[in-house]
């Protein structure tokens, strides 16, 4: 995570629909969640420990907030322990928060029965026992490493054929047709995929399914793309455990292609190229924080556990990045350990409020104001027994 950290230095209840929570938060104190002196979000029990893990998509942001030297670090008034983010994938985050291993589980896909994202042994009725809040907003890219070739245009159809094993060389006629005047090498494509349940994989396949009007082998899925089941047909493949591993492979392997969170590309300047993709109007655009933010603006204003995707918007939307997503923080509504639970909710309140002003420096986009307000409303419902762990300062 050293590269990610260097970039950082540089730069209601349960699973209920967050749309229900998009009301005003009357009387919110201006300083709460700011991280400034006197912020009640910083007053946590001494010795509390925060155990987290899951989505590697937002791992750079968690690392930034919990690194004391960061300008936007969350600094409680008492000494606490911030556990290392496992960054093992969204499936890991959902499974281990419900098992009680993590106080906070991070997932690009919230738990939802309809979406099929419930961990084994968890039932629809159990969702009332959890709070799920969008805590980060970012974009994914199709990254590649091809010596001497930059600003490559790739259509969703071509990307799908690469992952299906129909296009196996970088100088394929279909790639050349999209990139007139570019000299493409006769080099075999190494197809990189995520080898565990992954929210970034869901985002990637959701984009492909929508951009090709469903002409993909499996549609949107966070499951493993290769390995058991062989959902995709490419055979020259490399499985990666998380976004950091994907970034490492792309940065060091000429001829490779993969998909990963945008901040990991920013952490490897000059080593990973991001392909230009088509917006919903058909124009090829390069990723930027501006057009990732435009995706959140153009998407539906109601975000919920069953309606959370903001990828590939309706035809006609211009300059909107087609791979954007919220990453969700999941925690039990009733915390068995009051101290650890209080640290968790106050950390999240800071991260989703004042901490959002540091999102851009880390390759993310600040949460819309309505989402920030909804997050606080949800976090106010977390308790330990009868004790409310987050209170709103009048």
230 φ/ψ sector (left φ>0, alpha ψ -120 to 50, else beta): left
Higher pLDDT, 211 or 76: 76
Domains 2-136+324-388 and 140-298 belong to one CATH topology: yes
Higher pLDDT, 106 or 56: 106
Q: What is the pLDDT of residue 260?
A: 93
DSSP code per residue over 276-319: BEE-TTS-EE---HHHHHHHHHHS-S--BTTB----S-STT--S
- Say yes or no: domain 2-136+324-388 is CATH 3.40.190.10: yes
Q: Is pLDDT of 3 > 60?
A: no
Q: Which fold has domain 140-298?
A: D-Maltodextrin-Binding Protein; domain 2 (3.40.190)
Model confidence at 173, pLDDT cuts 50, 70, 90, reads very high
What is the percent of the chain where pLDDT is above 90? 61
pLDDT tens per residue across span 35-92: 998 999 999 999 999 999 999 888 999 999 999 999 999 999 999 999 999 999 888 9
The DSSP call for residue 334 is B
pLDDT tens per residue across span 356-379: 999 999 989 999 888 899 999 999
pLDDT tens per residue across span 310-321: 766 655 678 899
193: tokens are 């995929």
Distance CA 109, CA 250 (A): 25
- CA of residue 30 relative to chain centroid, distance: 28
The helix/strand/coil state of 211 is helix
Q: What is the pLDDT of residue 210?
A: 79
Q: What is the pLDDT of residue 308?
A: 66
Distance CA 174, CA 17 (A): 43
Given the structure tokens 């945008």, which residue do they identify?
Answer: 262
Q: What is the pLDDT of residue 306?
A: 62
What is the percent of the chain where pLDDT is above 70? 84
* DSSP E strand boundaries for the chain: 49-50, 52-54, 81-82, 104-107, 130-145, 190-194, 237-240, 256-261, 273-274, 277-278, 284-285, 324-332, 383-384, 387-388
Average pLDDT rounded to a whole number, residues 17-42: 63
212: tokens are 């090709």
Task: State the distance between the two ends of the chain, measured CA to CA, in whole angstroms.
Answer: 39
Average pLDDT, the chain: 86
Domain boundaries, the chain: 2-136+324-388, 140-298
Model confidence at 304, pLDDT cuts 50, 70, 90, reads low
130: tokens are 């959890």
DSSP code per residue over 129-189: GEEEEEEEEEEEEEEEE-TT--S-B--HHHHHHHHTTS--BTT-HHHHHHSTT------BP
Q: Is pLDDT of 385 > 70?
A: yes
Q: What is the pLDDT of residue 215?
A: 57
The DSSP call for residue 117 is -
Phi, psi of 41 (to 5 degrees): -70, -15
Taking the whole predicted model, whether its pTM rises above 0.85 is answered as no
Q: Kindly report the number of other CB atoms within 10 A of residue 273's CB atom.
A: 20
Q: What is the pLDDT of residue 12?
A: 33
Q: What is the pLDDT of residue 20?
A: 31
Residues whose CB falls within 8 Å of the CB of residue 311, separated by 6 or more in sequence, listed in order: 203, 206, 207, 210, 295, 322, 323, 324, 325
Which segment, 22-26, 207-211, 228-232, 318-322, is predicted with the most confidence on average?
Answer: 318-322
Average pLDDT rounded to a whole number, residues 243-249: 94
Q: What is the pLDDT of residue 13?
A: 34
């Amino acid at each position: 995570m050293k590269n990610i950290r260097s970039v950082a230095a540089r730069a209601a209840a349960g699973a209920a629909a967050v749309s229900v929570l998009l009301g005003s938060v009357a009387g919110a104190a201006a300083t709460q969640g700011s991280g400034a002196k006197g912020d009640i979000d910083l007053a946590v029990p001494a010795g509390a420990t925060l155990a987290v893990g899951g989505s590697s998509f937002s791992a750079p942001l968690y690392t930034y907030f919990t690194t004391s030297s960061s300008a936007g670090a969350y600094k409680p008034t008492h000494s606490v322990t911030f556990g290392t983010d496992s960054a093992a994938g969204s499936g890991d985050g959902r499974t281990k928060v419900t098992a009680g291993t993590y106080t906070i589980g991070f997932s690009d896909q919230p738990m939802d029965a309809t979406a099929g994202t419930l961990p084994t042994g968890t039932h629809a009725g159990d969702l009332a026992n959890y709070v799920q809040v969008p805590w980060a907003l970012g974009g994914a890219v199709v990254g590649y490493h091809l010596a001497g070739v930059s600003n490559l245009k790739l259509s969703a159809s071509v990307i799908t054929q690469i992952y299906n094993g129909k296009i196996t060389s970088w100088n394929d006629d279909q790639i050349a047709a999209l990139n007139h005047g570019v000299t493409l090498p006769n080099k075999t494509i190494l197809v990189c995929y995520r080898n565990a349940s992954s929210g970034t994989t869901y985002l990637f396949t959701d984009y492909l399914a929508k951009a090709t009007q469903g002409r993909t082998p499996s549609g949107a899925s966070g499951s493993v793309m290769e390995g058991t089941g062989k959902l995709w047909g490419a055979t020259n493949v490399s499985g990666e455990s998380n976004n950091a591993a994907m970034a490492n492979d792309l940065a060091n392997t000429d001829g490779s292609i993969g998909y990963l969170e945008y901040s990991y590309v920013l952490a490897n300047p000059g080593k990973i190229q991001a392909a230009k993709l088509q917006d919903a109007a058909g124009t090829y655009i390069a990723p930027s924080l501006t057009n990732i933010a435009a995706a959140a603006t153009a998407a539906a204003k109601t975000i919920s556990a069953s309606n959370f995707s903001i990828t590939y918007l309706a035809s006609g939307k211009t300059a909107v990045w087609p791979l954007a997503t919220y990453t969700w923080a999941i925690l039990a509504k009733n915390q068995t350990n009051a101290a650890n639970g209080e640290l968790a909710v106050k950390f999240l309140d800071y991260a989703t409020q004042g901490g959002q002003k540091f999102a851009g420096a880390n390759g993310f986009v600040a949460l819309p104001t309505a989402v920030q307000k909804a997050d606080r409303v949800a976090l106010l419902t977390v308790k330990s027994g009868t004790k409310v762990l987050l209170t709103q300062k009048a």
